[in-house]
Amino acid sequence: MEGVIGTTLYYKGFSFSAHLRYSLGGDVFNEALYTKVENISEDNLKYNQDKRALYDRWEKPGQHARFKGISLTETTQMSSRFVQRSNFLKGESFSAGYDFPKEWIEKAGFSALRLQVNMNDVFRISSVKEERGIEYPFARMVSASVSVTF
């Protein structure tokens, strides 16, 4: 199940909107686990590891671990072990704006004046840790605009 919940509020020239995207019950193949934890190449051992390759791996006989030891370089085949249940909630978009009163802006020769701030991908809460660079960042965007109508 996936969807978006949103709302927009207006009060005395101010506006605020928020939209949250959610997903419940989906499955995803976590490629970072497959390529950078379990099947990391010898070249990438030094330069491009996921920290789970160091901390969630097999280290000593008899240990129950999710991933094989980092020194074991034979290829592991794809399997359902790398498929994870994906549930997430993300702050998809937020905006705040202000429409100046007509009596103020008409003195300046305008027919409308609006200030707006928009934010996208503000936060993400997920059951799957996807590799997105250092410390799993997601692109966040903030923009501002001034709209003037003459």
CB burial string 12-34: b at 16+ within 10 A, e below: eeeeeebbbbebeeeebebebbb
Per-residue confidence (pLDDT) for residue 132, from 0 to 100: 62
CB neighbours of residue 67 within 10 Å: 21
Contact (CB, 8 A) for 45 and 38: no
- Residue 103 is predicted with a pLDDT of 87
pLDDT at 50: 66
pLDDT tens string, the chain, 150 residues long: the values are 999 999 999 999 999 999 999 999 989 998 878 877 777 777 766 666 667 767 777 777 888 877 777 677 778 888 888 899 999 999 999 999 999 998 888 888 889 999 999 999 999 899 987 766 555 566 788 999 999 998
Contact 91, 120 (CB under 8 A): no
Spatial CB neighbours of 78, under 8 Å, sequence gap ≥ 6 = 29, 34
What's the pTM?
A: 0.70
Residues whose CB is less than 8 angstroms from the CB of residue 27 and which lie 6 or more positions away in sequence, other chains included? 83, 84, 85, 86
Rounded Cα–Cα distance for residues 140 and 150 (Å) = 33
In the block, tokens 């501002």 appear at 144
User: Measured between alpha carbons, how far is residue 79 from residues 22, 30, 34, 84 in Å?
Assistant: 27, 11, 9, 11
